[in-house]
């Protein structure tokens, strides 16, 4: 299975490179999706099947769909791709590539000098994940829950829209009610 690991790793790297170099936003997002699935494969091959499938369900299946959803709504068409093409010239690449190359060389030197770790998958069952989440890392889970709650309240507030009034005589009543509501909130 070591070969499968390297294949998935290569796919992940290539897909991520394609994400950066695509001009069309939807194509870039599709490559990002491939990259996420390759990561899920890597997790699975290392024995973390639970994490692998959550990666697909949450990242590839929900978050990326929302990304594409927004891109679709913004209707980023040929003009955006054209603009990207203008911005992404060969000249722009020189600085970042040189700096990354230095980092990559350092990384290679480190990996080669410290010797290779053996590929040794340790299977982690969903039960073990649950137990460590709700014992050792309970504080993290609680904090994440609080953060999500705040986000949900914020989203509900932003998404609250004015009530539809079907007749002009009803309009004043609704306005009065809303004022009352505001006072109560304050």
**Closer CB to another protein, residue 77 or residue 96?**
77
Residues that bind another protein (CB under 8 A): 26-27, 30, 33, 49-50, 52-54, 56-57, 60-62, 65-66, 68-69, 72-73, 125-126
User: Whole-number minimum distance, CB 153 to another protein, in Å?
Assistant: 15
C-alpha to C-alpha distance for 116 and 92, rounded to whole angstroms: 35
**Closer CB to another protein, residue 54 or residue 88?**
54
| Signed CA dihedral, 98, 104, 110, 115: sign only | negative
User: Whole-number minimum distance, CB 71 to another protein, in Å?
Assistant: 8
**Closer CB to another protein, residue 21 or residue 100?**
21
User: Whole-number minimum distance, CB 81 to another protein, in Å?
Assistant: 11
Could you tell me the two tokens for 131?
């137990």
**Closer CB to another protein, residue 12 or residue 60?**
60
Q: Are 9 and 41 in contact (CB under 8 A)?
A: no
User: Whole-number minimum distance, CB 70 to another protein, in Å?
Assistant: 10
């Amino acid at each position: 299975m070591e070969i499968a690991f390297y294949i998935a790793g290569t796919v992940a790297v290539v897909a991520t490179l394609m994400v950066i170099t695509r001009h069309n936003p939807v194509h870039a997002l599709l490559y990002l999706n491939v990259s996420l699935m390759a990561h899920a494969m890597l997790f699975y091959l290392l024995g973390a099947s639970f994490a692998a499938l959550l990666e697909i369900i949450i990242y590839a299946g929900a978050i990326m769909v929302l990304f594409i959803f927004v891109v679709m709504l913004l209707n980023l068409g040929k003009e955006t791709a054209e603009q990207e093409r203008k911005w992404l010239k060969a000249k722009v690449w020189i600085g970042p590539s040189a700096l990354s190359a230095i980092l990559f060389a350092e990384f290679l030197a480190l990996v080669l000098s410290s010797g290779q770790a053996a590929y040794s998958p340790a299977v982690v069952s969903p039960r073990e994940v649950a137990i460590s989440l709700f014992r050792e890392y309970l504080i993290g889970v609680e904090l994440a829950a609080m953060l999500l709650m705040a986000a949900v309240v914020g989203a509900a507030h932003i998404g609250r829209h004015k009530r539809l009034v079907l007749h002009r005589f009803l309009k004043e009543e609704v306005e009065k009610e809303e004022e009352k509501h505001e006072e109560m909130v304050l």
